[in-house]
Structure formats: C-alpha cells, structure tokens
Amino acid sequence: MKPLGIFGGTFDPIHLGHLCVAWEASELLDADVLMMPSGVPPHRPPPIAGAPERLAMLQVALRGQSRLIPDGRELARSGPSYTVDTLVELRSEHGDRPLVLLLGADAFAGLPDWHGWRRLFDLAHVGVLSRPGEQTVLPDELAQANTGRWVDDPAALRTRVAGKLIALSVTPLEISATRIRELIATGREPRYQLPSGLFDRADLLAPYRR
C-alpha cells in the first residue's frame, strides 16, 4: 500500500522551501503527503497569522496537484499540538497503511524533547529530510532508540506500518518564514519565495503587514 507522509509545521506562511522538500519526499517515497499546520506549537511562540488564514494559504499553495494534501486537523484541536496524538488518530483512520512522519534533520535530532517521542516509532516510520551529504549528530538516547531501524530502500517502508527510519536526500532552499514575515512587515513583496497565488490574496498576507 502507498505510504502516507505527514509534513507538519507552523506554515506562517507556507513557502517554497516547505513545498519543495515535501514534494521531493513524496516522489522519493511514492507517497501522498499530508501538509499539516500546527495549532498551538509546543516548541515556539504563537504564529502571527490565525489558524483559518494559515489553512487558506496552504489550500492556495497546493492548487493544481494532488500529491500534497492540506490537513487542518491540528488547527481544530484545543491545547498544544502533539504529533503523537495526531499519529494515533491517523493510525486509527488508515489501518494498515504505512505512515511516514517527515522531519528535517535538525528537528529529528531534537526528537527526545518531544512529548511521547518513543511512541512515535510504534505509530509511524520517520523520514529524515537532509541535504545531500549532511550528517547530523544525534543525542545518545535517540541514537540508541534508532538501532536496527535504518533502511536505505523506500520499498522497505511498505513491508511494515511503522518503526523504520529512512534518510531522504532533498533540496532545501534558503527560504525562511521568519525572513518572509520581516520582508512583508517592511513593505516588501517576497515574490518567488512564496507560492504565486498568495499575491492574489492580499487578505491572507495582511497579518504580516505592520
């Protein structure tokens, strides 16, 4: 069965850096990928744009293709958005379909700070998105938890529903949502960093203008 990827983020706003790596991961895994904005991110200050705006921006960004699918479930939940809760929900919805949590190499290295992180491997595989040749130093407890999980071939993720780790070599772009927010706040128009459709929606970019 085709795996289902999950790519989460604040997406404040969604930009071409997010879309490029999510797309490449979906191609490498031959998977559909749920693009999931987080509601109340547990690890960072609250977003500038509201939940409906961030979801609407995602919907605009994802027009014209069907591999990357917007999923607003974490926005509807009250309290912090814990990935483990989302994966429990997805597991019950998708039965035997392999799930692949997609994480940047930095986020992966910080996994032991996440709520219920050890349970993640019972619920999903993890795809670590890295630049070609990038090596990340992992904390000891994570390196130990990873023993026996690494696979090289995406086909190996189809033989089980969860529990494997794969490194996915992608093309991160030097685009940052923080920088985009700064540019918009100072009256600039960060074209070619954001999906072009967003520039037809002044209402959605309004929260970033000062």
CB of 193 to ligand ATP, least distance (A): 9
Cβ closest to ligand ATP, residue 54 vs residue 164: 54
DSSP the chain: ---EEEEEE--TT--HHHHHHHHHHHHHHT-EEEEEE-SB-TTSPPPSS-HHHHHHHHHHHTTT-SSEEE--HHHHS-SB--HHHHHHHHHHHHTT--EEEEEEHHHHHTGGGSTTHHHHHHH-EEEEEE-TT---PPPHHHHHHTTTTEES-GGGGGSSSS--EEEEE----S--HHHHHHHHHTT---BTTB-GGGGG-HHHHGGG--
Question: Binding to ligand ATP by residue 125, rule CB under 6 A?
Answer: no
Cβ closest to ligand ATP, residue 11 vs residue 121: 11
Question: Binding to ligand ATP by residue 154, rule CB under 6 A?
Answer: no
Taking CB under 6 A as the criterion, the residue among 172, 183, 197, 207 binding ligand ATP is 172
Cβ closest to ligand ATP, residue 12 vs residue 53: 12
Taking CB under 6 A as the criterion, the residue among 173, 183, 197, 207 binding ligand ATP is 173
CB of 90 to ligand ATP, least distance (A): 18
Question: Binding to ligand ATP by residue 9, rule CB under 6 A?
Answer: yes
> Please, which of residues 11-30 interact with ligand ATP by CB under 6 A?
11-12, 17-18, 21
CB of 96 to ligand ATP, least distance (A): 27
Sites of contact with ligand ATP (CB under 6 A): 9-12, 17-18, 21, 104, 107, 172-173, 175-178
